[in-house]
Structure 1
Amino acid sequence: MSMLYIVSLTGCSYLSACVCRYPLGMSGGQIQDEDISASSQWSESTAARYGRLDFEEGDGAWCPERTVEPDSLKEFLQIDLRSLHFITLVGTQGRHAGGIGNEFAQMYKIKYSRDGSRWISWRNRQGEQVIEGNRNAYDIMLKDLEPPIIARFVRFMPVSDHSMNVCMRVELYGCEWLDGLVSYNAPAGEQMSLEGQPVHFNDSVYDGAVIYSMTEGLGQLTDGMCGLDDFTHSHVYNVWPGYDYVGWTNESFPNGYVEIMFEFDRTRNFTTMKVHCNNMFTRHIKAFRQVVCYFRSEADWEATPLSFSPVVDDVNPSARFITVSLANHMASAMKCHFYFADTWMMFSEITFQSDTAMYNTTLAPPKTGSGPPTRDDPTHKIDDSNTRILIGCLVAIIFILVAIIVIILWRQVWQKMLEKASRRMLDDELTASLSLQSETFAYSHNNPSSSSAPSEQESSSTYERIFPLGPDYQEPSRLIRKLPEFSHSSEEAGDMKSPYCDGVPHYAEADIVNLQGVTGGNTYAVPALTMDLLSGKDVAVEEFPRKLLTFKEKLGEGQFGEVHLCEAEGMQEFMDEDFSFDISDNQPVLVAVKMLRADANKNARNDFLKEIKIMSRLKDPNIIRLLAVCICSDPLCMITEYMENGDLNQFLSRHEPEGQLALISNAPTVSYSNLCYMATQIASGMRYLSSLNFVHRDLATRNCLVGKNYTIKIADFGMSRNLYSGDYYRIQGRAVLPIRWMSWESILLGKFTTASDVWAFGVTLWETLTFCNEQPYSQLTDEQVIENTGEFFRDQKRQVYLPQPVLCPDSVYKIMLNCWRRNTKERPSFQEIHRALLESQT
């Protein structure tokens, strides 16, 4: 049962293939027809604009004019994204056209370009260019791009080992490339001899020219994958030691530094540069001793460089990000000298934060031909004397009005200025570096020994990338970056590690195994010890014959698979003796079937099987049960209970509280006692999960199913359903978070524990007693909800709580308020909540 709301994969950093997986607009229509072109077409009805994934317009796809021949790459479908994008996934489909067409590409290659002139052939980490395509005309085939690409233009080029007709529908998945970096030039990586074995630190995915140096390309320093503490290991499977890092030895650089030059898409206002460095000093590897950066805004380099020296760390061998302040330098190119602190220096990621420079550009030359002079024509001058007089009068009037307003509002303005000044002083003293970690979106290796607090230079705030410093999105970014940092000695923060590349959040202060779900979410956060105990056993459920499943409707879908509502015949024969259905033996049973796509990657398949082992042992009357599996052949399926009344959110939305209004409208009703009964069952189910140290992380009425006689079972389908897409907050098209149900520490610190589930239960209880008539905090925008979590953190009594529902007695509202206490240790346990709800019904 996948119980989280966002993808989670091994080895992902804050901007990675794990997070940037959103369709860029072929299927959704955001990419315009004029931005889709092709080498040729069968006919007007198979033109490039019809090559949109999952669309059947025209004749159902793009089809090139000629058959595709072996070793021929003449035909292509091209997409212009209008700006640079970080592309991590591609989807392809053939031409089905309601059964009329049967053309598809069995294989294809991808070429991409950042400027439209220089085209680069994509190759995977093993150097292969051909990507496996479709097996039929209708199924969608998703393929990860490992490594991801940074491009504006992308071409799909069908490939075949024999002459054949092909048609294609495609989609690109990723997010906008906000760094603006178009290339870096650096010396080629070198080789270390370690215990007699060579360790290569070359940039193996660099897409520029590589001879003695790397020029005009991007590669591992921008692929979103951070290196581990021990450079001899890698997040990537089947690669050589040292793969994640690009490294150099000081013996090759008599000047004592490595020069890396960075080229950007336009002039930018740079605030910071973050460099992920290895610091395994026992191997004579350290982060750089000093960096000196030169800036070029126009044609010439600035004479005065910027210099920065981080604190040399001889104690903690962990890899870390070092943040270099670039002091708002304006530049379109940057040249940095990184000075050695030891024999070796190794980088795995370099990222930039900047705002696009906004200033007037030179006017274009006048167009040819006759016509009246205009202000855009620099060869003509127009008398502006009257205009200047009018502008002067307007300025004077505005000045007078401003003076009047200042006098009237002086006291209020002065008070606000004092408040802002006090906050700014607090911010400057503590320098925010919140650790909402990439593990909220991705899990990877955890190194419990590396728990030292990062310095200011080594801050690792994921929000600095998730909320980019661009003019299109400002307030949440400023809020998060300015919130005071949690001290590592604080009892609230616990033992947290620098999160960018390999930290796993300390859920319930335990090492956690996260399993990616078929709907793009995660299962419960499972303690690693529990996982070891459970996963070693055989699957405790039986194989179910697929032919006995009858499809009813699709409940939801995600990047790894789909969830279907089905009827299962003869399911009673496959049940444990401690479980029975409230129907006769010869009737079909309503079930939910979670199906893993056949093309899912190895991680997803392994996690799916682990998830089955865990779910087969969760046995509680208020938790959805795993009934059977289909794992002898693809696609892998798990079959779970489904309740005939659907989810609690929709169930309550169709009902009214008992009273005169319900009698008049003749609407179905639910009594207050039944509402409390359902809430008590949710608390009971969560009590069971918390007893196992499992953390749900997406508890809400949408994830509770309703059966007969108001029976409640906790499930996990909410995120995968389009119906509830509005409950999840998309951050710049990347992360998806149910922020209106999340505790302040989950949003700001990336901490998910049983205590954060308690917070979500308080919101779920509020939903239940309001009959789900509105979203939590419906009067606040998403940004204001995030800002409100900052008020919880500051604890200056300015935070906004959900109001007491009309039907809610004071004793039950007190339970809600206790669930929303700032201090996690002051929140009640689920056992206490369950007992309190039982007492409220007596």
Structure 2
Amino acid sequence: AQCIAPLGMESGLIPDRDVTASSSYNDGNVGASNGRLNQEIKGGAWCPKSQITTESIEWLEINLHSVHVVSAVATQGRFGNGQGVEYTEAYVLEYWRPRLGKWVRYRSADGQEVMPGNTNTYLEKKNHLSPLIWASKVRFIPYNSHRRTVCMRVELYGCYWSAGIVSYTIPKGDKRSNGIELVDITYDGDWGAELRGGLGQLVDGQFGGDEIREAAKSSAWVGWRNDSHVEPPALIFEFDRVREFSAVHLFCSNKFMRDVQVFSEAIVSFSVGGRHFQDEPVRHTTTGDNIFEGSRNVTIKLHHRIGKWVRIELRFAARWILISEVVFDSDVAQGNYTPEILKVINAKDKTKVQTSSELPVSTARQEDPLYMAIVVGVLTALVILLVVAVFLIVHRHRHRKCFASPLAKTTVAHRSVPEHYNSSASSMLHDNKMIMESALEVKSDEYQEPYQAIRCTPYFSTVLLEMKDLVTDSNTALSDSSNYDYAVPELSSAPLLTTKRRLAENVVERAAELLAERDVDLMAVREASMHADDPRRSAASSLRSKLSVMSPSQQEIRMEVRRRIDGPPVAEFPRHRLRMITKLAEGTFGTVYIAEAECVPQYGGGIVSADTQVVAVKFLGNEASTRERYIMEEFENDVRVLASLSSPQLTRVLGVCRSPPIAVVLEYMDMGDLCAFLRRGPPPGMPLLLHITVQVAAGMQYLEALNFVHRDLAARNCLIGKGFNIKICDFSTDIEAYACDYYKVDARAPLPLRWSSWEAVLRNLYSSRSDVWAFGVLLHEVFSLCRRRPYERLTEPQVLQNLAHLEADDGMFVCEARSPACPREVYEIMRACWRRDADARPTFGELRERLERLA
């Protein structure tokens, strides 16, 4: 995730005790703790006691405790429910962190200290910081060119500084002949012949371009000339704790036509105490590149060396060395380590050392033809074995699918069915004259390949819909052996639940419709096997068995959804009835706005004549209206499916705007999302919290009956309205306030890692039972009032490692602890949701019943 998330002033994650001020006009009414962005607490802002001038000494301080990267700040004036008139037109930032030991005044890249403030009392002014700052405390100092009374509400944006670097020491950079200063101008430590005790552009995440001239504008490069230093340049990095290092990456320039090249050798040394560095440093040599001048990343493997200080000495390959960024791959080392002690060498040993240094032996550089031949032979054998293994796996995989795939050409009715395997399938012959149901039945606990929802989907960002096309076109009825093991709905090729082609016989249509249904009786399989030679009799007997197992409620829900999908298209919502209020979220595929709407249709089809209602309007990305026609077809298919869902606990599709820009109108609730509601409001009573969770379980029970998988169930994706009514949605994926709740694993899209089950994260397997896991985390959120993040003591990589322990079933998985306000009975429900075996987790129907008994 990017380092842009709010740090907690608005949401309340930063407690009142960590917000202090130099003075307040009235501590109870406009004290420091009231200076929270977008909040109307008591007087509505922090107001210093004295009036502000250009020499003001009043400040509002925020204590983050640990070092954070602050990338932006925002301010507001005092709105005070329309009564306030105070705001600050400008302000100054100061920051502090333990290694600095002093307050440092922030300066922008162009050297300006004063930052622009507000022009009214209600609109926020957000300033992005360039360069970034590393701070554990931040002060806002109001500033005004003329004396006036000011009030402020503030917010910080950024992220936790997880790299662990507390400072670095480097030689001061040199100046090029054309006047470009190749110095670390953003460095905030002590300046001299060396830069000490601070942080700057070598760790700010900004990489230099191919042109050195860019340094004149953005100071992207730090450079040293070989004739201006007696010793080679050495970079010393100090870390917060003793760490285990696996690699370091140095981003270097290679403009060899201008006497700039990547270093010829890097010598990396380590130290626990910082005074003496360990023997046997890591040496890395590079090969000069006189062909390509592009900047490049040089990676040095550090072989899990231990230290708290790392020293990198660079040897020149040309006249100049230019470095833009240094990144370490490291983890906190486990165990106790003592600082190094300087070894005293007597004269005799010293002579030996000098003698040995005269004849250096480097076996790593010797070229042994026999050794190379052995290495090449071993690698060739490994490649051959790998190719053979892949061939066997693919062959076995295809052979197995001929018997296990529901879409296979051949029938296996004459084969005996193992007792541990439970599956069912049907296929239609090319001429639709005969229907044959195989003896395989979909396993009740089988995971389905998740259906990736179309980019214009309003909510439920990834949906599993096992109710695939009930009738397949005759020319695609049979599938070859290259099909997936699991059915993947393809909306782009045919409308979902299409009604273009129907079978003549109702019993066959019902059999196909119930094909994705779970828990089919094994006796039906055996009966189908005995009558495999009579396809119609086999289908009818299987249908009778399925109808006897399927609950009436599930059957009614599915038939109702089917009726809605087959009905008329989703109604057009007149654009003139919408009035945009504010932007809620913005992502890759669209923007969501909060709006007021007139004449919103209700559940019964009635219309509120004059009242307005708050709604959410999701616009597709700008490119969607100009792309091919299938974009609109996919949009219509998705919206029709989602509009067919009818549950009081789900946000409804109210209508669509089909003229560009394409948009869909969705329900929204007056009190916003559940997470923000629980954080900012007074603590609700236990009956209300249980009432909230029962509603969420009821909404998910409805989705479970249709085999829809939400994949992002959390308090932030639940809306709350009047009467504490809950509706499940999926608006929060792109909301800036929740950006830190998503984490990118491998090359996949960002995941809600702390809410996801182990099989979803590590195996990409999603089902209603993975939603049950997320529901357990939602219970933790609700009963901790969303003021404690799940696994708050673990970083994202540690959460990932914790889930890996559960996958390995090695007994090292650490479950989320019970919060003090959570009843023991509710915590037992959470633990049931977090069972390793997905089949052992309760269904949403069972969860609803247990919570209703507690309520």
**TM-score normalized by structure 2?**
0.48
Q: Which fold has the larger relative contact order, with Cα–Cα distance below 8 Å and residues 6 or more apart in sequence?
A: 1
Which has the higher Rg, Structure 1 or Structure 2? 2
**TM-score normalized by structure 1?**
0.49
